[in-house]
Amino acid sequence: MTDTIHRTPGSHVAEAPTKMTMAGAINAGLRAAMERDDKVLLMGEDIGQLGGVFRVTEGLHKDFGESRVIDTPLAESGIVGTAIGLGLRGYRSVVEIQFDGFVFPAFDQITTQLAKMHYRSQGRLTLPVVIRIPYAGHIGAIEHHSESPEALFAHTAGLRLVTPATPQDAYDMIQQAIACPDPVIFLEPKARYWDKGEVETDRVVRQLSDGESKTATAEMSQARVAREGSDVTLVAYGPTVHVALQVAEIAAAQDVDVEVVDLRSLSPLDIPTVVASAKRTGRVVVVHEAPTLHGIGAEISAAVTEQAFFHLQAPVLRVGAFHAPYPGSKIEHEYLPSIDRVYDAIERVVSH
């Protein structure tokens, strides 16, 4: 499935960009982190010899052994609880939750233990645990396999929450998350696992090999302008960045110049980058697969309205899923924000 990167720890030899899928980029990033630090462990259901349901950990069990790539029982609370204990002993556990809807049995461990331990110990204890969650829809899955629970975790103080939209970010950010001293929820847009892109494998490896974990953590928390524009700011993250870029191309054919901002980090939010873009364009649309009610888009909308009100030429609009349980696969396209729905929002803000 993937091109993996074999690297000698400490090696700083520049490499040409490599074409790989997002799944392959995460695999390569995990490999690089494990080669760099023997305290990095992988834990999860079927991640060993099988390589995970999506084969993201393929080959790592063979190369690093069962003591570092650990097949666990089907018990998410127990998996996360074990990772917390290992974190207190100096290990860096990377936990895979097999599907987004399976994370809820571990919700108590994540929100009351993992997120709170640093504060509860007055800063004396850290828990460098990464929880990988394949999330969102567009794979035709059954119930509990296409959830978007990001707002639940973003609302919990003490957790970092990031989501890549490209293979390059997937490769960089999984390593940055592992190097971070804080617990990180790493949301992987499963519908984008097979998207291919060029990945530069040198820069972040050199950065982390040189011990620049603070710089890496700061970079992980920054939004990026995925496409520059002057008429409308379209804010997206994870699986909807692909949709946003498609909408921007359609809008360009109608002489509407759309700027696409990829949030990358959902907690903390890089509000300054979004506000700066809003001030340039005067119009903002936020899109995500999670329901619009109480979602990340509401926070973005409030922040932009508070900080860029006098620059706005139209209300901030949100496009997301409906406030209903995730439907059956045959009608998920009606539930999720489509190109048509996002483009309609662009037309509405431009018409003001």
Tell me how far apart the alpha carbons of residues 352 and 350 are, in angstroms, rounded to a whole number: 5
DSSP string, 136-197: ---S---TTSS---HHHHHTSTT-EEE--SSHHHHHHHHHHHHH-SS-EEEEEEGGGTT-EE
Q: Give the C-alpha distances (Å, rounded to integers) separating 105 from 184, 285, 329.
A: 18, 34, 24
Q: 6, 12, 138, 145: which is the annotated catalytic residue?
A: 145
Q: Give the C-alpha distances (Å, rounded to integers) separating 318 from 186, 269, 275, 315, 342.
A: 24, 17, 16, 10, 9
Residue 227: strand, helix, or coil = strand
Q: What's 15's DSSP letter? A: -
Strand order through the sheet with 265-267: 69-71, 40-44, 92-96, 130-135, 184-189, 160-162, 265-267
In sequence order, the 6+-apart residues with CB closer than 8 A to the CB of 140 are: 329, 332
Residue 258: strand, helix, or coil = strand
**Is 61 one of the annotated active-site residues of the chain?**
no
Known catalytic residues? 145
